[in-house]
Amino acid sequence: MIDQTQGAEVLAVFEELAASFSALDLPRFRRCYSLPCFMAVPDKPGVAVTSEAEFEAFFSPIITRLKAAGFARSVLGRTHVHFLAPGLALASMHWARCRADGSEIERFGATYTLTHTGGRWLIVTLAAHGEDGVLP
């Protein structure tokens, strides 16, 4: 049986994801993910990430691009969590990446699969997509 505590635990993963990405702290951000994990983003439709080095290689160009645009923080928007089975969740949400003055660099949607492993929830897949792709 799924309880509200598990929902809060999954949401806490995304609060940490937003905080660590906003700080551009890649090692801390990585701890939200399981390795191996799978990434699907528009310009890279399927990337298996099996090591810390591959994780860094995947996200470093994104961080470089955002820094050049004046990135200051990630803002987590509307979020939906669905439990598929005990220890397996699907989370879909809106994200905004913003500058220090609050102006937006970009908005997008993302859908994640998480598993409960070693006493904590970890992301095992990321699918980045348009905002209209966020699951209800």
Strands (DSSP E) contained in the chain are 33-41, 44-49, 71-85, 88-99, 104-117, 120-129
Tell me what pLDDT residue 4 has.
67
- For 23: left if phi > 0, alpha if psi spans -120 to 50, otherwise beta; the answer is alpha
69, 105 Cβ separation under 8 angstroms: yes
Domain boundaries, the chain: 4-133
Written as one letter, the residue type at 7 is: G
Q: Cα(73)–Cα(50) distance, rounded to whole angstroms?
A: 27
Classify 68 as helix, strand or coil: helix
pLDDT of residue 127: 98
Determine the Cα–Cα distance for residues 16 and 31; give it in Å rounded to an integer: 9
Note the pLDDT of residue 2. Answer: 57
Pick the CATH number of 4-133 from 3.40.50.300, 3.10.450.50, 3.30.390.10, 3.40.190.10: 3.10.450.50
- Cα–Cα distance, 31 to 136 (Å, whole number): 27
Full pLDDT tens readout for the chain, 136 residues:
556 678 899 999 999 999 999 999 999 999 999 999 999 998 888 999 999 999 999 999 999 999 999 999 999 999 999 999 999 999 999 999 999 999 999 999 999 999 999 999 999 999 999 999 999 8
At residue 27, the pLDDT reads 96
